[in-house]
Amino acid sequence: MRRVGSGDVTLAVVEEGDPARPTVVLLHGYPDTLRVWDEVAALLRDRFHVVRYDTRSAGDSTAPRDPARHAFADLASDLAAVLETLGKPKVHLVGHDWGSLQGWDALSRPGLRERVASFTSIGGPGLAQAAHFLRHGRRRDVLGQLARSWYMAAFQLPVLPELAWSTFMPKLVERTLRGEGAEPRPGHPARTIRRDGRRGLWLYRANTVRTLGRGDVDPRVDAPVQIVECTRDGYASPALVASLERWPSRCWRRRVVAGHWAHRSRPDAVARMIAEFVTHVEGGSEALSASAPASRALRAARVRAGRRAFEDRLVVVTGAGDGIGRATARAFAAHGAEVVCADVDRAAAARVAGEIGEDLGGTAHAAQIDVGNGAEMEAFSRNIAEEYGVPDIVVNNAGVATVGLFLHHGTDDWRRVLHADLWGVVHGCRLFGAQMARRGEGGHLVNVASMAAYVPSALLPAYSAAKAAVKALSECLRAELAEQGVGVSVICPGFVSTGMARHATYLEEGVRGVAAKALARRGYPPERVAAHILRAVHANLAVVPINAEGKIGYALSRISPSAVRALAGLGVREIGKSRGNDRADGRR
């Protein structure tokens, strides 16, 4: 730690890492100090020169004699003083909360903006950008943001805010941190939080009314800006964060599944985003000793016109060699995704991956996998993460069917169906869902079930039981993983014209031909199911019944379960008729 003078204040500055490497300056918010960045700084300092300092009136920095000297111009002077001591022509700014507001302001100031190589904004807009949103945003969005920002008006009051910081506010901060999964620790909240909270009120009093009341401030900035949205931030609404995309000349927008103090609760994710962005902007400088192509996540975050819905997303599809899996893999690729086509038949997976490259000009990879084999799936998920990265979307589609009455099902029949149809989904959700949760940027699991999950059939006891379990599992997982930002959708098609009927195992005589012909006559192509899967991911839908019989069956299962149970025996009567006809044919 060292001290830097700026006017009548001295700033406490901490430097870590090799000064020859690119410099990252971390700006803290209110009522924090530089210690709020401890975890992130520890993850960055081996690759970057990391600098952080206590803003005026916070932590170990001193306060100005005139409390009104907390305006943005004063904060800009402090930043300039720190930069002067570093001797670097350009630095990468990272700001949280008030530090983010300060960073946006720096990008608009001659003398400072030329020294900013990039800016990462976490949990805070610039006041100029916020002012434009409040004037021109949708009325509902503006009212929602004003409700979140009630404290900004309360902090303008005399005496009462100071009294709050002297009494209950420090405990409230601790309780909020715990609610976000960030336990208080030495250094945060700081030992000086009561004093910092009282003095820092002048940040609001010296800036908010003055800046928000002006309509002539240009919100545009000419710098690479990475906007990190904290999905559970109680202060900055999604609409406000989304409105920021239009102002930087080059913009990336990313999400971290966390509350306001994301750098405390998810320092791994925040540090990774900062490192990827700085490395990319640096472009592979000698100091980094590496080329700097943008990571897939960073490519996917780039804001630009004409971007396809799933461009630069990584999608894994099991059972991709044919039918719904093949159609789904192609559909995601057509919308810009990089696809891993996995199937128990490697030749079929390779054929589909080749089609994606040749027909669609997309990027696809083939993999052979038995989804019901836990060891194989462990290795498969690990290899995917190491070679391509954590998937954004996983479609657990692989499955088999056995057709016949329950009393004709042997143990091996049950084992075969549950192995693929249930255990394949369990392994896919468990392994890839854990990767998505650890990454902290969300994701989506799609489990392909069937209308058999809620419309029972005497001819499909194992298949129906497996698909019903997949539906129940999906709804349980959806509730659990929502906190991690991972969506879960279960897809329930009716009769679809695929090769499944040809590949099924039949335990009853005369059923195979009837089933294959019925599916062919139904004429519902798997491409339409794929379109529903893409829609389910885009809209984060829970249960998606598909085609007429799927939707009618779903409605009946909720309105009149007895009617659905009555339909279950139709197949038994058809078998009886078939056997009767066979005997009659024999007599003839």
Please name the amino acid found at residue 423: W
Cα(first)–Cα(last) distance of the chain, in Å?
Answer: 101
Length of the chain equals 588
d(CA 536, CA 528): 13
Q: Which residues sit opposite 396 in a β-bridge?
A: 447
Say whether 123 sits in a helix, a strand or coil: coil
Cβ count within 10 A of residue 523:
9
Find the Cα–Cα–Cα–Cα dihedral 401, 402, 406, 410, rounded to 10°: -120
Those residues whose C-beta lies under 8 Å from the C-beta of residue 446, and which sit 6 or more positions away, are 393, 394, 395, 396, 397, 488, 489, 490, 491, 533, 536, 537
Q: At what angle do helices 374-387 and 423-439 cross, to 10 degrees?
A: 30
Neighbours of 31 (CB within 10 A): 28
Helix (H, G, I), strand (E, B) or coil at 74: helix
Q: Which residue has the tokens 């409040």?
A: 134
For 444-486, the DSSP string reads EEEEE--GGGTS--TT-HHHHHHHHHHHHHHHHHHHHHGGGTE
What is the Cα–Cα distance from 566 to 322, expressed in whole angstroms? 33
Q: Is 477 within 8 Å of 534 (Cβ atoms)?
A: no
Output the CA angle 279-283-284, nearest 5 degrees. 80
Q: Residue 62 has which token pair?
A: 């001193």
Contacts of 147 (CB under 8 A, 6+ apart): none
CA 52 – CA 146 distance, rounded (Å): 31
In the residue annotation, 463 being an active-site residue is answered as: yes
Contact predicate 106/200, CB 8 Å: no
Q: Which of 274, 324, 265 is nearest to 295 (CA)?
A: 274
Alpha helices in 302-408 (DSSP H): 323-334, 346-360, 374-387
Catalytic residue among 53, 204, 454, 463: 463
Pairing between β-strand 2-6 and β-strand 23-27 as defined by DSSP bridges: unpaired
Closest CA to 107 of 127, 87, 123: 127
Residues 6+ apart with CB under 8 A from 162: 198, 201
**Which residues does the annotation mark as catalytic?**
463
